[in-house]
Structure 1
Amino acid sequence: MTETTTNRPPPRPGDDPPISRQQRWRYGAALALIVLISELAPMEITLVYPAIPHMTQDFRTLHLGWVLTMVSLVAVVSLPLVGKLADTYGKKRVMLSLAVLFSVGSLICATADSFPMLLAGRALQGTAGGMVAVSYALVRDTFPRRWVPVALGTVAAGIGVSALASPFVAGWFIDNHGWQSLFWFMLGYAVLLIPVVAVLVPESSLRLHQRLDLLGVALLGSGVGLILVGVSQGPKWGWVSSGTLGTLIGGAGLLIAFVVWELRVTAPAIDLRLLASGALRSTLVAYLFIGFMIAGYGLLMPQMLQTPAQVGITYGVGLTATALALWTFPTGLLTMVCGPLGGAVARRRGARLTLIGAVCAMITGLVAAAALAEHRWQIMVISAVFGIGMGLYYASGPNLVMDAVPAEQSAVGAAMLGVVGQLGNAVAVTVLSVVMAQNIASQNPKTGRITYTDTAFQQSFILAAVVGLAGLAVAIKMRHGRAPATGGAATR
């Protein structure tokens, strides 16, 4: 049985009361803090991307992709639970709890002396993958209706700040203090923010009282995990071996069981009945494909640009981690700029148009990257184009979801968006790591550093772009999002 309680009646479109200057400052401060704490989710990825080549010296394994996959996998598993907890116990309360778990995970990663210990820390950090979804829902619940579309775009712009600053922060720490210092930085960032957010950010009064579907969460996590293991180990075990087929079939079976269970239980982890709405369904499908593109770009670009020039490859630029930040900063800058811009476009022309623009820009960037940029101006142009796509992408999704789900299920809806995005990320890292591993040019016996062939990057970038074309087709066809975004007022 579902029960919704609130301390105030839900507002209707256009009935926002007048806002005083003091209230504007309070809303502005709260939004800034929501943006800052939401940075934990992209930070756990964007700070670590440049560190992957450097971790090889301490953990000599071909499976370093799991440093990224583990975060996405845990996010996929935890997001439904996070969304339900946020709708049940309060968005701010859950947000702070995620920040605490992130802090513990950062401490473990900073002190890890083995690869399994590092993955354990990354698993705890991965719970912060639900931070952005909870932030979107908190904005919807606590901000004036007419502010919500642009406020959601501003939260997205915060991700742009992370994309802009993370390469510089990562480059400086890696070049001067080693990759472990990145996790000490993340720990300090979270610890400083937690008490400030606790005091200054308002809590949502909306509550959705349901039991937690732990079995559904377990089925989803186990199914996705087995499939990712099967894909990543397929080249080593053999694609028709009993181990590979067993994990793939077992994972598929668990996902089927998950769907059957979710449709029968009264309080599902992911309310699949929401997918009866074509509006939400088309948005999630598009975001699954786009998540693959984003992860592909983030995984491939740092590795390609940090590889030194050498015989047998044409792409070697040999950038240090700091130089990488300097030449790819347009990605973060334009993500930050285009987030609020995308929110404004969504409010005037509809979020579907914003999404189409995002996908087109990202596909263009991936195709250009497949040409294996040899000049630094080319790197900056590619980074700029992809950054435009990222900003529009982060602004379109939350507006599409908030206008597609009931107010009392806003966190669940945002969590579903996060699940498919993280699932796309996890599949991309796993699949592209397999493609790269099949095209190794050489490996330094002293440092363990791997050099990939031109073909490895060309095939991977093109594969990511092709997946993006599927997302573009969905975005063009979708009927949802053609009207101006309302910030969720239309579904109240």
Structure 2
Amino acid sequence: MLILPPSEAAEGVRPSRPIALVVGVLIFADVISAFESTMMLSALPRIIGEFRVSAVDASWTLTAFAMVAATSAAVCGRLGDIYGRRTLLILLLLGSAVGSVVSLSTGTLSGVIVGRAIQGVSGGILPLCFGIVRETVPKHRVSVAVAMVASAAMLAGASGTIVSGVLIDSFGWHYIFVFAAGVAFLAAACALLLPRSTMTVGAVRVDWPGALLFAPAITLCLLGVTNAARWTWGDARTLGSIAAGVAVFALWGWREVRIESPLINVRLFRDRKQGLALLANCLLSAGVFGSTGLAMQLMMQSPTNAPVGLGMSATAAGTAVFCISIIGFLLSPFSGRLSARFGARLPLAIGSAVGVGSAVALALLHDTVAQMVCAVIVLNVALVFMLTSLPNFVVEGVAPEHTSEVTGVHAVARTAFSGVGSAVATLLLSLSVVSGTQFSTEHAYNNVFLLVGGTSAVGLLIALFIRGRGGENPSRRAAPVSALAAEASE
């Protein structure tokens, strides 16, 4: 396949499609993936009642999606770098639509779970979108476009519970899948408007054995993490799943550094900037991304007679979060411009610093709805700067033909460590409850906010340790993987 010459890739001669069209289509595709990740939350009570199953059984509609989505983010990012991102993007959108049809047509819980697992292939959409931005948008606008695509995921995730709630109340939970299938087919049709991929790594041998090792590794780890809240961290199933996953990961990593064309070139993360950016992603995912969503919804929806509670309905709480997320989305171009001018380390530092402030705000401002709205606004500002800075680190330091591969690793890390953060937050909230009730004490919530503030503070330190003012290094953009690996190992 044709590799775009570095000079053309860097400067981006006149785009073959309007930039607004390209970015709009990619945001639409990204919205599909983010929506599908949250759309089942509102449907769980109806599924439990209709199929007469336990909450544990019904939660597999979430777990199955998450496990496949994490694997898809890494594997499909690499495949897109090899075979062309537009083609694979269309295939993932069609696969997502097929998953909705399967969930809708079987009439059994197992069928819904299988369909949700197929839907999980949409987890690979976001890394592909970043790669398409980089190969189709002129260099001076890449950072802003990447920031807008990244922040769209936050906005779409917040809208998932609202849209699904309206569909459930008006028509029934089955129509969630009707809606999801329809928009996925529409997004696939729109993706045909994107220019064909020309920036690929060329004809290389796909590391299928690496894929076969990576899939069970991430599945076992996520299985243990996502079920830790109900199994407990000391349960043999939790520890066994995580230990087995780590062991398979170790075997996979040992193999990947020894082959010429790995599924994921882990040598890329020996580079100081890329390694620190990934570390920051892991910490912030466990803190701000993973733990605040649960605590925030509990604070909003718990009754007013609880130690912390505003008595809001699920719809009101979801609508409030969605409206506030719009503010974050509108800030994303500003974050992108900062990345373009000063480097991604500045937005990461700003987001981490505001993350510390959001922890303080959530701890102090939760007695009234107005106070809570102010605290959540601060939180969303932190989230948007963090979310938009991380993919721009990849833009700054990784060759264009490896963009989807590396951003896929970041997506996997965010999924896995968000699960860890959610499980830890659940544990912290369960350690201190009002006697005779299920309501967590204010002290328990403060422990969660301490986790958020602590991880954000470490994220700020990491940002300060990242060297470089920003802007892409032209020599790095064109450098082959082998040369980059040799440089990083010196």
> Which TM class, normalised by the smaller chain length?
0.7 to 0.9
Between 1:227-236 and 1:254-263, the stretch displaced more is 227-236
Q: Deviations over 1:227-263 (max 9, x none)?
A: 3444555677676665554334322221211111111
Structure 1's 35 and 260: CA in aligned 2 closer, same or farther, altered over 3 A?
same
Provide the C-alpha distance between the structure 2 equivalents of 1:457 and 1:72, rounded to a whole number of angstroms: 26
Matched, 1:485 2:477: no
Indicate the residue corresponding to 1:261 in structure 2.
Answer: 255
Indicate the residue corresponding to 2:150 in structure 1.
Answer: 156
- Contact 1:401 1:414 survives alignment (8 Å): yes
SS of residue in 1 equivalent to 2:280: helix
Indicate the residue corresponding to 2:488 in structure 1.
Answer: none
Provide the C-alpha distance between the structure 2 equivalents of 1:105 and 1:123, rounded to a whole number of angstroms: 7
**TM-score of the two chains, using structure 2 as the length reference:** 0.85
- Contact 2:10 2:474 survives alignment (8 Å): no
Structure 1's 153 and 246: CA in aligned 2 closer, same or farther, altered over 3 A?
closer
Indicate the residue corresponding to 1:447 in structure 2.
Answer: none
SS of residue in 2 equivalent to 1:269: coil
Indicate the residue corresponding to 2:179 in structure 1.
Answer: 185
- Which residue of 86, 89, 92 maps to 1:95? 89
Q: Report 1:437-456 matches (<5 A).
A: 451-454=438-441
Structure 1's 133 and 330: CA in aligned 2 closer, same or farther, altered over 3 A?
same
- Which residue of 356, 376, 382 maps to 2:375? 382
Unaligned residue ranges in structure 2 (runs of 5+): 479-490
Unaligned residue ranges in structure 1 (runs of 5+): 444-449
Indicate the residue corresponding to 2:344 in structure 1.
Answer: 351
- Which residue of 75, 78, 81 maps to 1:84? 78
- Contact 1:49 1:299 survives alignment (8 Å): no
SS of residue in 2 equivalent to 1:483: coil
Structure 1's 179 and 414: CA in aligned 2 closer, same or farther, altered over 3 A?
same
Q: Deviations over 1:350-404 (max 9, x none)?
A: 1101011122223433443345823111221122112212222232112110111
Between 1:206-215 and 1:361-370, the stretch displaced more is 361-370
Indicate the residue corresponding to 2:462 in structure 1.
Answer: 474
Q: How many residues align?
A: 473
Indicate the residue corresponding to 2:482 in structure 1.
Answer: none
- Which residue of 297, 301, 308 maps to 1:302? 297
Alpha-carbon distance, 1:427 to partner: 2.3
Structure 1's 14 and 37: CA in aligned 2 closer, same or farther, altered over 3 A?
closer
Q: Deviations over 1:81-113 (max 9, x none)?
A: 101210111101111111112112233444675
- Which residue of 381, 384, 393 maps to 2:386? 393
Alpha-carbon distance, 1:29 to partner: 1.3
Structure 1's 49 and 404: CA in aligned 2 closer, same or farther, altered over 3 A?
farther
- Contact 2:127 2:411 survives alignment (8 Å): yes
Greater relative contact order, per chain length (Cα 8 Å cut-off, separation 6+):
1
Alpha-carbon distance, 1:80 to partner: 2.2
**TM-score of the two chains, using structure 1 as the length reference:** 0.85
Provide the C-alpha distance between the structure 1 equivalents of 2:298 and 2:107, rounded to a whole number of angstroms: 23
Indicate the residue corresponding to 2:398 in structure 1.
Answer: 405
Q: Deviations over 1:125-179 (max 9, x none)?
A: 2221121110010111122222212221222243354256445424423443444
Q: What do you get for the CA RMSD once the two structures are aligned?
A: 3.2
Q: Deviations over 1:326-348 (max 9, x none)?
A: 32234311221111110011111
- Which residue of 284, 290, 309 maps to 2:284? 290
SS of residue in 1 equivalent to 2:397: coil
Indicate the residue corresponding to 1:44 in structure 2.
Answer: 36
Structure 1's 53 and 342: CA in aligned 2 closer, same or farther, altered over 3 A?
farther
- Contact 2:77 2:407 survives alignment (8 Å): yes
Structure 1's 101 and 24: CA in aligned 2 closer, same or farther, altered over 3 A?
closer
Structure 1's 96 and 456: CA in aligned 2 closer, same or farther, altered over 3 A?
farther
Q: Deviations over 1:269-300 (max 9, x none)?
A: 11111112111111111111222221322333
Indicate the residue corresponding to 1:446 in structure 2.
Answer: none
What letter corresponds to residue 458 of structure 2 in structure 1? A
Identity %: 25
Alpha-carbon distance, 1:441 to partner: 7.0
Between 1:42-51 and 1:208-217, the stretch displaced more is 42-51
Indicate the residue corresponding to 2:196 in structure 1.
Answer: 203
- Contact 1:294 1:425 survives alignment (8 Å): yes
